[in-house]
Structure 1
Amino acid sequence: MERNFLRRLITAPVAVALVLGLAACGGSASDPGTPGANALSGSDQESTDKYTTEKVIPLEEVDPAQLDLITEGTLRVGTLSDAPPNIFIDETGKFTGFDNELLRAIGKKLDLEVEFASTDFSSLLAQVQNKQFDVGSSSISTTDSRRENIGFTNGYDFGYMAVVTKTDAEIKGFDDIGDGKRIGVVQGTVQDDYATNTLGIEPVRFYDYNTVYSNVRNGQIDAWVAPSQQAEGQVKKGDETVIAESVINTQNFTAYAVNSGNKELLDALNSGLDAVVEDGTWNELVKEWYPEREVPKDWAPGSQAVKLP
């Protein structure tokens, strides 16, 4: 089934499919390995979605006791602490953000407690597959390569990425990234793989979003290739930084990671996701965490059977 995703967000052409061989969120392009190669070209602005399920099992048929959880009745979730507005710890010490609050709502539909723990992004998928966590919640872009090693729910968000620079920087977008520039990424992300294998540069790798952004602000790096959601959460008035360009990735949606052998949990989460889409919770959370964002009319979270209210 073809699902047309959002065609453009700010200024750019559509992002091509990103393929990852790293630990967590990656890229191939028509000219990989050439400095300055444009991984954002070549898309027909449509994608054939091979993975979104046609429907889900009825919510009342989910048995929480059969989900092979680390602790029965509780979803143990690996997440990040520093990536607003999606995944972060607020001033009260609570794990929150769009992704985590959505997962709490899904857990409530499944009569499950949701327990979060902080981890490094580069370790998250391996930790889920090794059953240190039941679920990974970190705005994870799905790719064919990742699916060889981990399971993913249906999508709950679309993916896009950005270039963050100083306001007076020479870099004005993706086309300006190449050799001779110090480009920061968070280790193990789609953006790490994009910079390394698509642009053919050696990025400066950081363990977390706060540190890479601080290095943009103080001029230690020329730009940060970032998930757009995290860029929007970091860039603030008075920082003398700017989101120079932001582009949609039409090929890979954002999903929760699950151990590849735990089909029962995967099916349950998909049922819960459809339920929070149908009752309006997904829309409410989008309005809360992305007040200026418009949901594309030709994109929807969850299975192919669910419709946004």
Structure 2
Amino acid sequence: MKWLNTIVAAAALTQLVSAGIAHAGANLDEIKSAGVLKIGTEGTYAPFTFHDTSGALVGFDVEIGRAVAAKLGVTAEFLEGKWDGLIAGLDAKRYDVVINQVGITEERQKKYDFSEPYIASKAVLIVKADNNDIKSFADLNGKTAAQSLSSNFGKLAQQSGAELVGTDGFDQSIQLVLTGRADATINDSLSFLDFKKHKPEAPVKIAAEQADADHSGIILRKGETELQAAINKALSDIKADGTYDAISQKYFGADVSK
């Protein structure tokens, strides 16, 4: 009886392991069978995901999503939702992945998996083009910085010795620098690139940038290892064949992957 019990238990364990392996690849198989990669996104977050004047969904992340889906041999289908519930939509299986400049954090990695990073953003110190006094974050000491007061950028400016001039966000901050009402602003490198893409003649420049970058990735449910691997390969392929660079240059005028 002991031998029989052992054999039965071993057989049951083998079945569980096999089921687990099958489940790990099930979603990728279903996606390929359906011919559609369902992507959660906001649709209100320019330049990553937004609607143009014709009402079409466009943006950096939208084009990345379409390019990744094409490499998987399927079509991208975008499902829009508010940020507050966007990632939770993965749990409800409304979509397969979320592509919406989602930052890769330790807290999120406890519950979800990510692709390899495909966006890198850094804190940059922005000043007027003719400002030669501020060349580093340390040079902010005794100067004024236009910042959202509760933001991490505002805290960094304060730690650097700047006097803060409160603003509602990037657009207002950059205007205060342009009009000379603030000496500088610390902000996101992607926001600056987007601004310069639309207003290349604006007399502002990056005086310094932090060495460490924050990274974003495509987020998906835990345990879907085959889908994760396929997405990573797709990202690698679109970087190798120039697709990624073309999209990046279109929206930012620079390579934002590093």
Same fold (TM over 0.5): yes
Quick one: which of 49, 53, 68 aligns to 1:91?
53
Find the structure with the greater CA-based Rg.
2
User: How far apart are the structure 2 equivalents of 1:274 and 1:142?
Assistant: 18
* CA-CA distance at 1:227 after TM superposition: 2.5
1:237-256 correspondence to structure 2 within 5 Å:
237=200, 239-249=202-212, 252-256=214-218
SS in 2 for 1:249: coil
Select the structure that is richer in helix. Answer: 2
**Aligned residue in 2 for 1:285:** 247
Relative to structure 1, the CA distance from residue 79 to residue 224 in structure 2 (aligned partners, 3 Å threshold; closer, same or farther) is farther
User: How far apart are the structure 2 equivalents of 1:264 and 1:248?
Assistant: 33
What is the letter of the counterpart of residue 63 of structure 1? D
SS in 1 for 2:63: helix
Query: What percentage of aligned pairs have identical amino acids?
Result: 19
Task: Deviation per CA, 1:155-187: give whole Å up to 9, x if none.
Answer: 224333323345577865533457985553598
- Verify the 8 A CA contact 2:147 2:153 in the aligned structure 1: no
**Aligned residue in 2 for 1:64:** 30
- Report the TM-score, using the length of structure 2 for normalisation: 0.60
* CA-CA distance at 1:65 after TM superposition: 4.1
Task: Deviation per CA, 1:106-165: give whole Å up to 9, x if none.
Answer: 112331333153644xx3774455546643333344243442343211122433332334
- Report the TM-score, using the length of structure 1 for normalisation: 0.52
Q: Across the two proteins, how many residue pairs are aligned to each other?
A: 222
Relative to structure 1, the CA distance from residue 185 to residue 225 in structure 2 (aligned partners, 3 Å threshold; closer, same or farther) is farther
SS in 2 for 1:63: helix
Quick one: which of 151, 155, 158 aligns to 2:120?
158
Relative to structure 1, the CA distance from residue 115 to residue 247 in structure 2 (aligned partners, 3 Å threshold; closer, same or farther) is same
- Verify the 8 A CA contact 1:195 1:203 in the aligned structure 2: no
Relative to structure 1, the CA distance from residue 177 to residue 270 in structure 2 (aligned partners, 3 Å threshold; closer, same or farther) is same
User: How far apart are the structure 2 equivalents of 1:275 and 1:130?
Assistant: 28
- Verify the 8 A CA contact 2:90 2:98 in the aligned structure 1: no
- Verify the 8 A CA contact 2:65 2:76 in the aligned structure 1: no
Higher normalized contact order (CA 8 Å, seq sep 6+, divided by chain length): 1
SS in 1 for 2:212: strand
1:189-268 correspondence to structure 2 within 5 Å:
192-193=151-152, 195-196=154-155, 211-218=169-176, 223-235=184-196, 236-237=199-200, 239-249=202-212, 252-260=214-222, 262-263=224-225, 265-268=227-230
1:138 aligns with 2:138: no
Unaligned residue ranges in structure 2 (runs of 5+): 1-24
- Verify the 8 A CA contact 2:170 2:191 in the aligned structure 1: no
What is the letter of the counterpart of residue 170 of structure 2? V
Unaligned residue ranges in structure 1 (runs of 5+): 1-58, 300-309
